[in-house]
């Protein structure tokens, strides 16, 4: 039945967006995670990647999170000669995480999750109406 396929597709979208939110939350949580020693890199922002996946059993294309990759953007620098990870000039590397970008990404993931949730609700409502029609 097509309604079940629709719900399955939307559920896959909700799972993908949940993973996207998790990655954004990890990035925000580590926005101030510097290295412990000179020469080490601080936390590197992670970017989720998604892929299209054919579910042969259901005959539908689904989205899923494929992997996370490190953002190649350069690290920030801050002068703090007393920090254990300071180089010989007194600078430490800061994570390449921009909290504003992460908040925008989380908001977009939330809206996409909610859109998929509305698809599930609409499909469920249609299914319930069909059942009610069949009973009468």
**Residue 43 structure tokens:** 């936390």
User: pLDDT at position 18, please?
Assistant: 97
Comparison of pLDDT for 68 and 2, the residue scoring more: 68
Instruction: Name the residue range of residue 21's domain.
Output: 2-135
User: pLDDT at position 1, please?
Assistant: 67
User: pLDDT at position 98, please?
Assistant: 95
Give the SS3 label for residue 62.
strand
Q: pLDDT at residue 92 above 80? A: yes
Max Cα distance, the chain (Å): 82
Q: pLDDT at residue 39 above 90? A: no
Give the pairing of strands 76-79 and 91-94: antiparallel
User: pLDDT at position 136, please?
Assistant: 81
Q: pLDDT at residue 121 above 90? A: yes
Global pTM value: 0.86
- The number of folded domains in the chain is 1
What is each CA distance from 119 to 19, 40, 59, in whole angstroms?
19, 46, 19
Model confidence at 68, pLDDT cuts 50, 70, 90, reads very high
- CA pair distance 94, 76, nearest whole angstrom: 5
Q: pLDDT at residue 43 above 90? A: yes
Model confidence at 45, pLDDT cuts 50, 70, 90, reads very high
């Amino acid at each position: 039945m097509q309604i079940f396929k629709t719900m399955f597709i939307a559920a896959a979208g909700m799972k993908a967006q949940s993973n996207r939110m998790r990655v954004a939350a990890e990035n925000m949580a580590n926005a101030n995670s510097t290295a412990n020693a000179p020469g080490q890199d601080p936390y590197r922002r992670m970017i989720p990647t998604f892929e299209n996946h054919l579910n042969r059993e259901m005959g539908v294309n689904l989205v899923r999170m494929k992997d996370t990759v490190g953002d190649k953007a350069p690290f920030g620098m801050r002068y703090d000669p007393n920090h254990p990870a300071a180089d010989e000039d007194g600078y430490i590397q800061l994570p390449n995480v921009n909290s504003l970008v992460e908040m925008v990404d989380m908001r977009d993931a939330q809206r996409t999750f909610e859109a998929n949730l509305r698809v599930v609700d609409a499909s469920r409502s249609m299914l319930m109406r069909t059942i009610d029609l069949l009973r009468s």
